[in-house]
Chains A and B, each alone.
Chain A
Amino acid sequence: MWRRLLLSLLACGLLLWGLLALNSNLLALAIPLIAYLGAALLNAPGELRLSGVRTLSADRVSQQTPVTMRLTVSNEGGHLEEVAIEDRLPPRLESVAGEPRALTSVPPGDRVTLEYTVRATRGLFDLSQVQVTVCEPLGLLRRQVTLAVPGRLLVMPTAPRLRQLSVRPRRTLAYAGPVPARQGGSGVDFFGVREYQPGDSLRWINWKAIARHPTGFFANEFEQERITDVGLILDARRRSDRRRAEGERLFEHAVSATAALAQMFLSQGNRVGLLVYGRFPDWTFPGYGKVQHERILRALAQAETGESMVFERLENLPTRFFPARSQLVIISPLCADDLPTLVRLRAHGYHVLVISPDPVSFEVGGLEPQPEVTLAARIARIERTILLRRLLEAGIQVLDWAVERPFDLAVHAALGRSPQWFRAVGVRP
């Protein structure tokens, strides 16, 4: 637009100047500009009749997996001389090979194919905006259309594989599983001694107790192991997230940890639900098995930090989503004002485990080691230690996770459950 105006003003000015000054040399200078404008007008692009098709090598991948995209734009109208095609990629989708844009000419009935490879860390990407700009050969007149070429790419978070995790909620479900049920029956861990009942295995008879009390006949009882309800709560409040200068985010570590925990609890047969607590509570209803795993991964793929007046603090955490006295696993870097809410959850009978990616070591890792930074880190670390200690005093399990350490190693060191044969002989890790 600006360039057409510029040429027109130049031509107009020269014409007027030439006519007013009665100078044919000035008029002669205006004529090439008029000829140029006329040539552009004669070759102006007509009505655009374009259509597009998009194909993806995969529409569901794990993060950092390259995906090849093929975008075909067909011209069902007249000849198009200069056609700039640009597939507008969402900001977090990175093109690693090939270009998502091209300049070409398209004869009538012909098609152009763009092929390129993209990669992303995590997310659900709607790919529908393809911008096509058609110019006449001199580039002065252009027509722009946005083609709707739908496509969707889901990039799942990757997660380390966890082995067993020691949790002891007060309430378990009816089916056998790996969680100690606080009830006597068949199991591995010793639970107590009771009167022998017909049908009890002879191996369960407690000979020492019979020797002490010859009037009775006693058998050992073991703790039942069942499945349980697990509620995963991912803290997606913007205020609890940390970001390093190079763009690395603490929230991504929390998402990865949540995915790992979901995979582990579901593979043990537990019923798992997920609440992403950020701009709004994004709730994935509890369920079992692979389908639930897929649902949770989809929710995590789309999880983003956000701000909300209502959900700025944990006190509005909708606990009714979770069955009473079940296991809650909260994945959060923790803010100072979260303590009362967590203590209240514990008081309501939930068994609470807090997996806390350490924001202090994360932030310090991205800063220059200066005296001020060291001092500030020390103060922040003291505050955090006090907060975590108060949680422990309230009976809340806490894993203080420095994200530089692999999550699986950190979990196994702090919360790992010893193998059954270890537990049978009374050895703890």
Chain B
Amino acid sequence: MTGRLWLLALIVAATALAVGYVLGGAWPGALTASAVAGLWWLARRRRWGDWTADLGLVSLFGAAAFGAQMGMAGGWMLVSALAALGAWDLDRFARRLEGAGRVMDRRAMEERHLRRLALALGVGAVGGGAALALRVRLSLGVAILLGLLAVIGLSVAVRLLRRESD
């Protein structure tokens, strides 16, 4: 089940990105997105290292960010980013299952994981959609201040994550 959903998420990520680029008239972007997705699929099939999923996520997010900067449709870029994040998570989950030896009650574990993932992505989709829909005018100073706050907030979050994990 995880493998099929991963493939679906990868296809959605690449397709959304390609559609966004095509609608913006940037065919090379669409081809790049397809190539990244194809490489990720190949890496998974050939069981290359864990780093391939990270590289795929960064590439798809980079392509989506570049598209957003270049004025492509924000909705398609957001859908692509959400699907890429889902594919990255499912890739890692599948690898954990494969490397675990014996998985007890595999189906229930997969269902619970998918529920949590769907919840996280759902919250992300709502938040991202809201960010696309809402328009707030910011001066450069306020933007820099917000940026600093965001960086500090994220660094605090990372420190907290690290402490929780240790």
Interface residues, chain A, CB within 8 Å of chain B? Answer: 1-6, 8, 10-12, 14-17, 19-29, 31-41, 43-45, 81-82, 84, 86, 98-105, 112, 114, 135, 137-143
B residues with a Cβ closer than 8 A to A are: 54, 57-58, 61, 64-65, 68-69, 74, 77-78, 81-82, 85, 89, 92-93, 96-97, 100-105, 108-109, 112-113, 116-117, 119-121, 123-125, 127-129, 131-132, 134-135, 138, 140, 143-144, 146-147, 150-151, 154-155, 157-158, 160-162, 164-166
Knowing A19-B143, A25-B77, A32-B81, say if A137 contacts B104 (CB, 8 Å): no
Quick check: B100 and A102 within 8 Å, CB to CB?
Answer: yes
CB distance from A278 to the nearest CB of B (A): 36
- Total contacts A-B at CB 8 Å: 191
Asked if A32 contacts B146 (CB within 8 A), the reply is no
- Are A32 and B89 touching (Cβ within 8 A)? no
What is the predominant secondary structure among interface residues of chain A facing chain B? Answer: helix
- In the complex, 19 of the A-B residue pairs with CB atoms within 8 angstroms, ordered by the A residue number, are A10-B61, A17-B69, A19-B138, A23-B68, A24-B134, A32-B82, A32-B127, A41-B160, A41-B164, A44-B164, A45-B164, A99-B102, A101-B101, A102-B100, A102-B101, A104-B105, A135-B96, A137-B112, A139-B96
Compute how far the CA of A17 lies from the CA of B146 in the bound complex, rounded to whole angstroms: 12
Residues in B with CB closer than 8 Å to A137 are 112-113, 116-117
Neighbouring A residues of B85 by C-beta, 8 Å: 32-33, 36
Identify the closest chain A residue to B166 (Cβ). A143
Cβ–Cβ contact B119 & A39, under 8 A: yes
Rounded to whole angstroms, the CA-CA distance of A314 and B105 in the bound complex is: 59
User: What's the Cα separation between A99 and B119 when bound, in Å?
Assistant: 33
Closest 5 CB pairs of A and B: A32-B124, A103-B100, A25-B68, A25-B74, A35-B124
Residue from the set B78, B121, B150 with the largest chain A CB neighbour count within 10 Å: B150
**A26-B68 in contact (CB<8A):** yes
> Are B134 and A139 in contact, CB atoms less than 8 angstroms apart?
no
A31 to B144, CA, bound (A): 18
Whether B101 pairs with A141 at a CB distance below 8 angstroms is: no
Most A C-beta atoms less than 10 A away, residue of B96, B131, B144: B131
List of B residues within 8 angstroms of A20 by Cβ: 143-144, 147
B112 touching A81, Cβ below 8 Å: yes
A320 to B151, CA, bound (A): 75
Query: Within the complex, what minimum Cβ distance (angstroms) separates B144 from chain A?
Result: 7
Q: Which residue of B lies closest to A10 (CB)?
A: B61
| Shortest Cβ distance from residue B95 to the other chain A in the assembled complex, whole angstroms | 9
Question: CA A21 – CA B65 in complex, angstroms?
Answer: 12
Question: Which residues of B are found within 8 Å of A104, using beta-carbon distances?
Answer: 103-105, 109
CB <8 Å contact, A12 and B161: no
Residues of A within 8 A of B117 (CB): 137-138
Q: With a 10 A CB-CB cut-off, give which of A5, A43, A99, A103 has the most chain B CB atoms.
A: A103
List of B residues within 8 angstroms of A139 by Cβ: 89, 92-93, 96
Q: How far is the CB of B133 from chain A (nearest CB, A)?
A: 9
Contact of B165 with A6 in the complex, beta carbons under 8 Å: no
Given A1-B165, A103-B96, A103-B101, 7 other A-B contacts at CB below 8 A? A26-B68, A31-B127, A35-B123, A41-B157, A82-B113, A103-B109, A137-B117
